[in-house]
Amino acid sequence: MIQKLISKIQQTKAPIVVGLDPMLKYIPEHIQKKAFDEYGETLEGAAEAVWQFNKAIVDATCDLIPAVKPQIAMYEQFGIEGMKAYERTVSYCQEKGLVVIGDIKRGDIGSTSEAYAIGHLGKVQVGSKTYSGFHEDFATINPYMGSDSVLPFVKVCKEEKKGLFILVKTSNPSSGELQDKLVDGRPVYELMGEYVAKWGEEHMGDQYSYIGAVVGATYPEMGKVLRKVMPKSYILVPGYGAQGGKGKDLVHFFNEDGLGAIVNSSRGIIAAYQQEAYAKFGAENFAEASRQAVLDMVADINGALEAAK
Amino acid sequence: MIQKLISKIQQTKAPIVVGLDPMLKYIPEHIQKKAFDEYGETLEGAAEAVWQFNKAIVDATCDLIPAVKPQIAMYEQFGIEGMKAYERTVSYCQEKGLVVIGDIKRGDIGSTSEAYAIGHLGKVQVGSKTYSGFHEDFATINPYMGSDSVLPFVKVCKEEKKGLFILVKTSNPSSGELQDKLVDGRPVYELMGEYVAKWGEEHMGDQYSYIGAVVGATYPEMGKVLRKVMPKSYILVPGYGAQGGKGKDLVHFFNEDGLGAIVNSSRGIIAAYQQEAYAKFGAENFAEASRQAVLDMVADINGALEAAK
């Protein structure tokens, strides 16, 4: 799957991922109204609005992008109906040829981590049959509990040729409360980067490992260090756009081969129509606004990469 | 809800929680067969087996215990149908008067953490209506991302009078890869314990905070230190029984008032019938074996607490 991700990035010339994090406040009134008219102001209605919103954005952008990253929390908040919309979104994006990174940030120990891995990336055995619950292609995971937590995911990824992005340095302001603390003279994020590099050796693709890392665009200097600590790990970079990261901040997340990083934008793309720059599209044409925002983001990043050559 | 938890512990004289982590291999053949006969070897069939297994154990133990802790990974592995069984288990346990600790180990940043908090502990707004997706009473969360990640949960907990158990020192062998590293001369788990104490001040009950911590029974010396670092935080203690923790290891997790800790056992209780000590019950009477295992666990812990007086 890492090979598929890389070849899709090369084919689209777009090292980006669209974050499908559909809060209701991002969803245009007319989509919400139609869903509520059909299903009432219910969890089912909310899930229908989420699904119709996602579908329109995926349809409008899927030829331009290699991957999407649905944030499961935004679905989970609507309970079972939300989880159905999540699974439906994963399936639809895969039908459209997109790589799906489930932003699930799970992590537990031993057989419990294995259960998460099976549910999201693998197959669960039921009697003589097997089933794939949520069947994403990659998942984000949280490494606080150590190898016992991560290796069951790696095991399932090896069986399924799927991959991970492990939280290393997250994009939020308070990430430093733990991640920047010095341990044996280097920050926790570097220690975790070293672990990611080591775990990554367990499951290599041709050039890059199936085991990548999450490093926020809001910390470009740390990205520069981590790029060297984990040379064969793909870096998933959140924090572009709405959180403040810009194209020029991203240059050092990439390797000299022009690969090695994939930059996420969520509300910057899916709620583009609510921003001044794209207001001219109007709420009716929200999906076209998203398409334009994708084109602009790709130009920003590729421009910065060109300028840095 | 922390008051309810404390008063239920005092009433049952049982500072324990039963971990409802129903792997199929723990579920007796006759329960699985009945479910598969009805629904086939499908995710629905697996979810039915899980539900019938849980219900029998809850019915057999609910008068003896204050709380249950369903581990959501064990449900999530069965996809949507598994999530339905999770929600059904939460509802049933609450009907039986039990406090439900959702072992979800979620964590993300800002509005994303808030979405998890809303989905599990709060209410989501849909038009003019509100709904509670999974409606647990407490949830476990992962603090790797810092305050941005934790405080949205605390906010929802304050609105709903619900609580958290934040991962501090987990019970697994490799927890030390990060959690034991020294930061400014003290280990990461102590740093996190200090954060928990600080976050806990934001949401106090009468004696104890609504914001507790997870500290593994397998690390009693660290439990002793953390008890002092977070005097007003309840400690959820996993790792008793199957993972190796014993009653005498647990004494220092409690405060002098005899409160302050609640000890979890999962497979030690729910799969008791598979252990030599309870084999006499047989698979048919698995729920009675679980009841006996609860009685034995309570006697072990209370005996150790008495002996330490």
- DSSP secondary structure letter of residue A129: E
Q: What is the dihedral of CA B107, A234, A102, A60, to 10 degrees?
A: 130
Helix axes B188-201, B147-160, angle to 10 degrees: 40
pLDDT along chain B (309 residues), means of 10: 96 98 97 98 98 98 98 98 98 98 97 98 97 98 96 98 98 95 95 97 96 96 96 96 78 94 97 97 98 97 91
CB B232: neighbour CB atoms within 10 A?
Answer: 17
Given this model, what pLDDT does residue B79 score?
A: 98
Report pTM.
Answer: 0.97
Candidates A41, A82, A133; nearest CB to B129: A41
Residues of chain A found within 8 Å of residue B167, distances taken between Cβ atoms: 144-145
B212 phi/psi in degrees, rounded to 5: -110, -170
The owner of tokens 């090979």 is A3
Rg of chain B (C-alpha set): 19
H or E segment and range at residue A229 = helix A220-229
Assembly ipTM: 0.97
**With an 8 Å Cβ cutoff, are A126 and B177 in contact?**
no
Are B262 and B12 in contact by the 8 Å Cβ rule? The answer is no
**With an 8 Å Cβ cutoff, are A119 and B73 in contact?**
yes
**With an 8 Å Cβ cutoff, are B113 and A73 in contact?**
yes
State how far the Cα of A153 lies from the Cα of B77, in Å rounded to an integer: 13
Candidates B42, B105, B126; nearest CB to A41: B126
**Would strands B211-215 and B235-237 be described as parallel, antiparallel, or unpaired?**
parallel
- DSSP secondary structure letter of residue B172: S
Residues of chain A found within 8 Å of residue B21, distances taken between Cβ atoms: 112
CATH pick for A2-303 out of 3.40.50.1100, 3.40.50.150, 3.40.1280.10, 3.20.20.70: 3.20.20.70
Residues 6+ apart with CB under 8 A from B298: B13, B14, B16, B64
H or E segment and range at residue B164 = strand B163-169
**With an 8 Å Cβ cutoff, are B21 and A112 in contact?**
yes
**Would strands A129-131 and A124-126 be described as parallel, antiparallel, or unpaired?**
antiparallel
Given this model, what pLDDT does residue B248 score?
A: 83
Looking at the complex, report in whole angstroms how far the Cα of residue B191 sits from the nearest Cα belonging to chain A: 8
Maximum Cα–Cα distance across chain B? 60
If phi > 0 it is left, if psi is from -120 to 50 it is alpha, else beta; for residue A85 that is alpha
Structure tokens of A298? 């790709």
Give domain B2-304's CATH superfamily: Aldolase class I (3.20.20.70)
Given this model, what pLDDT does residue A244 score?
A: 72
Side-chain half-sphere exposure of B110, counting CA atoms within 13 A: 13
| Length in residues, chain B | 309
Confidence at A249, pLDDT banded by 50, 70, 90: confident
The per-residue pLDDT for range B127-161, each reduced to its tens digit, is 999 999 999 999 999 999 999 999 999 999 999 99
pLDDT, chain A, mean? 96
The closest alpha carbon to B159, from B127, B191, B117, belongs to B117
pLDDT (mean) for A89-111: 97
The owner of tokens 């990060």 is B178
State how far the Cα of A60 lies from the Cα of A49, in Å rounded to an integer: 17
Are B259 and B6 in contact by the 8 Å Cβ rule? The answer is yes
Residues 6+ apart with CB under 8 A from B261: B15, B234, B235, B236, B237, B250, B253, B254, B255
Q: Which residues pair with B139 in a beta bridge?
A: B102, B164
H or E segment and range at residue A101 = strand A99-106
